[in-house]
Amino acid sequence: MSIHKVEVCFSPVLFPDYENKEANVVIVDVLRATSAIITAFQNGVEKLIPVKTIKEARKLKQKGYMVAAERDGIVLDFADFGNSPFNFTKEKIGNRTIAYSTTNGTMAIHMASKCNKVIIGGFLNISALEEWLISEQRDVIILCAAWKNKFNLEDSVFAGALAERLLKQSSFYTICDSVHGAIDLWKIARTDLVGYIEKAAQRSRLKKNGLDDVIPYCFTEDVTSVIPVLEGEYLVELKNSGN
């Protein structure tokens, strides 16, 4: 049996030093992009277009797409709704193609696009990720979307949680200090995740804008077994994943 390595990359800016075309890459932006994207697929969105800039989001709106877009907690005037996972209800988005504006998440997805498969992860689908990554028997990179390139706690503890699960398998190993660091942070945080995240900068930003109601939800494990995957410019549901 061959064994495969697990790595954690704390910021898209660091990714060129981790890039490995053979690897499956899990993109994580717990608060809130990847949690919202997973929720959208759980609720039946057909395709999702991750976009980085307001200009791109506006262009897609003009083409007729529904658009989720905020800046600094304010829903943009041309958008249909904001970036909270709670906006992605079956009624609004079922069987549609949606554009989701996320600076950090889109950058991470773009950086990883030359790797084997780029999948979208969070606590919401962690067991499905674990199962699929084990079935794949490939190297794994967990790529934290970070905040404007900077390390963040919420993505790091998720990376630790997922890496710990994979490394329980004899088919995975690591020599990556970021994996060890992330697992150690996860071990501190796991007994009270929401409490641990109190000190995170993103927690304060969301609270300031009255958007922190999503935090307990975003740290809930296994709300769904769906895994979004990048295909060209679109995110779609990974076949053989859940649902």
Residue ranges binding a copy of itself (CB under 8 A): 10-11, 13-14, 17-18, 147-153, 156, 175-178, 180-181, 184-185, 188, 199-202, 204
CA distance 235 to 156: 23
Contact 75, 128 (CB under 8 A): no
Rounded Cα gap, residues 9 and 144, in angstroms: 6
Q: For residue 241, give every residue at least 6 positions away whose Cβ sits within 8 Å of its Cβ, in sequence order, or none.
A: 128, 132, 225, 226, 227, 229
Q: Which is nearer to a copy of itself, 71 or 180 (CB)?
A: 180
Shortest distance in whole angstroms from residue 208 CB to a copy of itself: 12
Question: Shortest distance, CB of residue 196 to a copy of itself, whole angstroms?
Answer: 9
CB of 57 to a copy of itself, least distance (A): 23
The closest of 110, 121, 99 to 55, measured between CA atoms, is 99
Which residue, 3 or 201, is less far from a copy of itself as judged by CB? 201
- Of the two residues 13 and 75, which places its CB atom closer to a copy of itself in the complex? 13
SS3 203: helix
Peptide bond into 32 cis (omega under 30): yes
CB nearer to a copy of itself: give 40 or 141: 141
10 versus 132: smaller Cβ distance to a copy of itself: 10
CB 146, min distance to a copy of itself, A: 9
CA–CA gap between residue 23 and residue 139 (Å, rounded): 5
Angle at 214 between CA 213 and CA 217, to 5 degrees: 125
Nearer to a copy of itself, 13 or 66 (CB): 13
What is the C-alpha separation between 66 and 80, in angstroms, rounded? Answer: 6
Q: How far is the CB of 116 from a copy of itself (least distance, A)?
A: 21
74/188 with CB nearer a copy of itself: 188
Q: CA angle, 202 as apex, 192 and 236 as ends, to 5°?
A: 90
Least distance to a copy of itself, CB of residue 174, Å: 9
- State in angstroms the smallest separation of the CB of 203 from a copy of itself: 10
Helix and strand numbers (H, E) in the chain are 10, 12
